[in-house]
């Protein structure tokens, strides 16, 4: 597969994955662009792998983890709420935004584990390989993240209201 074909076919999926992972569209675009630039330089080695997309997705996760470290050192820390609330009027969009805001509060490794499990659909062993940790660590990270999300839901029931 040529690199151009890969980008046309997989960039939208990488962008969705990175957006869920980072909870910020601008950061997802930066990460995917950086990763695809590095992947282009190594495409002759990546394209012959059994799962080139899994390799590039791992590059996205690694870049996200390093961006978070850089961002934490260089960004001022303040809670700033937007003047205008997020809303385009669609219930689905509001639920997704609330979920992404809750995910954004998780520590980066917990968020990465949850996104890899529930968004990418990977097994514990695959997540461990992606994050470079043991399966038991993956399970504990996901368990802690889900417990945090549950506490968040009970503490702030108005943050996430499901309408049927």
Q: Say which CATH number the domain at 102 has.
A: 1.10.10.10
Q: What whole-number percentage of the chain has pLDDT above 90?
A: 52
Phi, psi values for residue 93, rounded to 5°: -65, -40
What is d(CA 36, CA 56) in angstroms, rounded to the nearest whole number? 8
Last residue of a domain, one of 21, 44, 74: 74
Chain centroid to Cα 6, Å, comes to 20
- Judge contact between 84 and 3, C-beta under 8 A: no
Does residue 60 form part of some domain? yes
Q: What is the mean pLDDT of residues 69-81?
A: 58
Does residue 18 form part of some domain? yes
Q: Of the ranges 50-59, 95-104, 152-161, which is most confident?
A: 50-59
What is d(CA 146, CA 140) in angstroms, rounded to the nearest whole number? 10
> Looking at residue 107, what is its pLDDT?
92
> Looking at residue 162, what is its pLDDT?
45
Query: Do 117 and 53 fall into the same domain?
Result: no
* pLDDT value at 77 more than 60: no
Q: Rounded mean pLDDT of the chain?
A: 83
* pLDDT value at 85 more than 70: no
Q: What is the mean pLDDT of residues 127-148?
A: 92
* pLDDT value at 14 more than 70: yes
* pLDDT value at 28 more than 60: yes
- Judge contact between 52 and 1, C-beta under 8 A: yes
Residue-wise over 29-42: b if at least 16 C-beta within 10 A, else e?
eebbeebbeebeee
Does residue 79 form part of some domain? no
Last residue of a domain, one of 14, 49, 74: 74
Within 8 A by CB and 6+ apart from 144, the residues are 110
Coil, strand, or helix at residue 79? coil
> Looking at residue 133, what is its pLDDT?
92
Joined tokens for residue 12: 């939208």
> Looking at residue 32, what is its pLDDT?
94
Q: What is the mean pLDDT of residues 16-37?
A: 91
Query: Do 102 and 65 fall into the same domain?
Result: no
* pLDDT value at 67 more than 60: yes
| Residue 106 DSSP one-character state | S
Q: What is the domain count for the chain?
A: 2
Domain limits for position 60: 1-74
Query: Do 97 and 163 fall into the same domain?
Result: yes
* pLDDT value at 142 more than 90: yes
Nearest residue to 55 (alpha-carbon basis) of 33, 38, 76, 79: 38
Does residue 80 form part of some domain? no
What is d(CA 31, CA 18) in angstroms, rounded to the nearest whole number? 7
Q: Please count the other Cβ atoms lying within 10 Å of the Cβ belonging to residue 49.
A: 11
Does residue 84 form part of some domain? no
For residues 93 and 160, which has the higher predicted lDDT (pLDDT)? 93
Query: Do 31 and 97 fall into the same domain?
Result: no
> Looking at residue 76, what is its pLDDT?
56
> Looking at residue 164, what is its pLDDT?
34
Query: Do 102 and 128 fall into the same domain?
Result: yes
Query: Do 97 and 131 fall into the same domain?
Result: yes
| Residue 118 DSSP one-character state | I
């Amino acid at each position: 597969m040529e690199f151009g074909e890969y980008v046309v076919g997989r960039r939208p999926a990488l962008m969705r994955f990175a957006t869920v992972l980072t909870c910020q569209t601008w950061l997802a675009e930066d990460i995917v662009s950086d990763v695809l630039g590095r992947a282009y330089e190594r495409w002759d080695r990546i394209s012959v792998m059994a799962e080139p997309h899994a390799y590039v997705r791992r590059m996205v996760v690694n870049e996200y983890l390093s961006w978070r470290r850089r961002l934490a050192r260089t960004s001022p820390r303040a809670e700033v709420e937007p003047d205008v609330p997020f809303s385009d009027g669609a219930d689905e969009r509001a639920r997704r935004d609330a979920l992404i805001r809750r995910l954004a509060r998780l520590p980066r490794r917990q968020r990465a584990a949850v996104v890899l499990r529930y968004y990418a659909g990977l097994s514990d062993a695959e997540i461990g390989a992606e994050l470079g940790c043991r399966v038991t660590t993956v399970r504990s990270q996901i368990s802690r993240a889900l417990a945090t999300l549950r506490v968040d839901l009970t503490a702030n029931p108005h943050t996430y209201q499901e309408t049927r």
